[in-house]
Amino acid sequence: MVMNINAEKRNDPRIADASVAAVVCTFASERFELLVAAIASLHQQDLPPEEIIVVVDHNPALLERARRELRSRLPAGGDGGPRLILTANAHARGLSGGRNTALEITTCAFVAFLDDDAEADATWLLTLRSGFRTPQVVGVGGRVEPVWEGERRPPWFPPEMDWVVGCTYRGVPSETSVVRNPFGGAMMVRRQAVQAAGGYSERLGRTGTYPSGGEETELCIRMRQRDPDIVLIFEPATCIYHQVPRQRMSLRYLLHRCYAEGRSKAVVRRLTRAHGALATERSYALRTLPAGVVEGVAALRHGDVDAVRRAGVIVVGLTAAVAGFAAQILRSANDARGVRRQATAGGGR
């Protein structure tokens, strides 16, 4: 059941400020129409945000176009609507830098992050905000549903691997659950909790078209290291709808994304040095993926060739992720040896 935010604020003296800012980070000029649709969906929320912050990642032409066109194509702000803020990423190129920029700009207590190629359900902000029932809850995220270009999922694409295209995958909880981290592009956080932990690591996160990730994973682990009592929630009662273009509906993209994710998770493990930091990935690799393979192979008895293909994609995708993880571990070890050699040579002068 969705709680009434105003009543919650009146009845809970621990909540001094229920203000919400919605943030959309963007980088590609060719996605401008998707950006307009994303922002328009934020204007249709049951709980309107006080601010909509658009952070443009080192693309002056896109920022100029946004300043020139966005306000005329969206409902006007003022007393009855959100204030639109357009700004450049003030940090290193990439999604993490853009999110850190927004966190520094806003004074709202809660900040929601929406991908620039997604549209939020009208209940999105209200449902996420309702999840902060105690001060220990520092982050709440919802589902991410794919909108496949051509309106059809490729028959070979396993739902266990929908994370490859930035969406909720088979294996995540089907009911409200405590999780290590929600999906970063459909997530609301307490601003002060994120800033107190140091913000998003700019050594992680998507940069341009390179399909990296892991920034929300590392942040949530770091917040929990700082305060073991914090709670992060996955709330499947609401969702955003994420566009999946044809260029991401290929085996080549899937393998590239899996390899990059493996590298990212190796960096997360090194940065956090937390015991069990990758327990979620371990469970996914040992339970969710094998179940998908078994299901696919069993379907061969019924002549379902596509199910067998999905099983094969799971195997090669996991192999690519493991290869990326191993490659990054090896690279980090080589870098560390190089640093030690330089330190030894310097000490001998």
Is the pLDDT assigned to residue 208 strictly greater than 80?
no
Question: What average pLDDT score do residues 239-253 get?
Answer: 95
**137 located within any domain:** yes
Is the pLDDT assigned to residue 312 strictly greater than 80?
yes
CB 232 within 8 A of CB 139: yes
Return the pLDDT at 235. 97
30: part of which helix (H) or strand (E)?
A: none
The pLDDT-based confidence of 39 (bands split at 50, 70, 90) is very high
Is the pLDDT assigned to residue 163 strictly greater than 90?
yes
Question: What average pLDDT score do residues 141-170 get?
Answer: 95
CB 170 within 8 A of CB 288: yes
- The candidate with the shortest Cα–Cα distance to 188, out of 54, 23, 322, 326, is 23
**58 located within any domain:** yes
The pLDDT-based confidence of 303 (bands split at 50, 70, 90) is confident
Is the pLDDT assigned to residue 343 strictly greater than 90?
no
Is the pLDDT assigned to residue 274 strictly greater than 80?
no
Please state the pTM of the whole predicted model: 0.86
Return the pLDDT at 28. 93
How far is C-alpha 338 from the chain's CA centre?
Answer: 33
Q: How many domains does the chain have?
A: 1
Question: What average pLDDT score do residues 239-252 get?
Answer: 95
How many C-alpha atoms does 38 have within 13 Å on its Cβ side?
26
Torsion, Cα of 104, 107, 108, 110 (10° steps):
40
Rg (alpha carbons) of the chain, rounded to whole number: 21
Q: What percent of the chain has pLDDT over 90?
A: 72
CATH number of the domain where residue 128 is located: 3.90.550.10
More reliable by pLDDT, 275 or 210: 275
**286 located within any domain:** no
More reliable by pLDDT, 125 or 79: 125
Is the pLDDT assigned to residue 11 strictly greater than 60?
no
**340 located within any domain:** no
Question: What average pLDDT score do residues 84-93 get?
Answer: 95
The pLDDT-based confidence of 73 (bands split at 50, 70, 90) is confident
Question: What average pLDDT score do residues 134-161 get?
Answer: 95
Indicate the SS3 state at residue 170: strand
**276 located within any domain:** no
**215 located within any domain:** yes
Q: What is the pLDDT of residues 175-192, one digit of tens each?
A: 999 999 999 889 999 999
- The candidate with the shortest Cα–Cα distance to 195, out of 228, 231, 213, 222, is 222
Is the pLDDT assigned to residue 345 strictly greater than 70?
no
How far apart CA 208 and CA 225 sit, in angstroms, is 30
Is the pLDDT assigned to residue 266 strictly greater than 60?
yes
Is the pLDDT assigned to residue 349 strictly greater than 80?
no
Return the pLDDT at 276. 75
Is the pLDDT assigned to residue 329 strictly greater than 50?
yes
How far apart CA 320 and CA 21 sit, in angstroms, is 37
- The candidate with the shortest Cα–Cα distance to 116, out of 158, 59, 75, is 59
How far apart CA 172 and CA 75 sit, in angstroms, is 36
CB 124 within 8 A of CB 237: no
Return the pLDDT at 72. 86
- DSSP string over 294-311: HHHHHGGGGT-HHHHHHH
How far apart CA 160 and CA 172 sit, in angstroms, is 9
**152 located within any domain:** yes
Is the pLDDT assigned to residue 25 strictly greater than 90?
yes
Phi, psi of 191 (to 5 degrees): -55, -45
Return the pLDDT at 243. 96
Return the pLDDT at 340. 64
**106 located within any domain:** yes
How far apart CA 326 and CA 262 sit, in angstroms, is 8
Question: What average pLDDT score do residues 34-57 get?
Answer: 96
| Domain range enclosing 59 | 5-248
The pLDDT-based confidence of 5 (bands split at 50, 70, 90) is very low
Strands (E), 57-155: 83-88, 110-115, 118-120, 137-148
> In the chain, what is the straight-line distance between the N-terminal and C-terminal CA atoms, in Å?
70
Is the pLDDT assigned to residue 42 strictly greater than 70?
yes
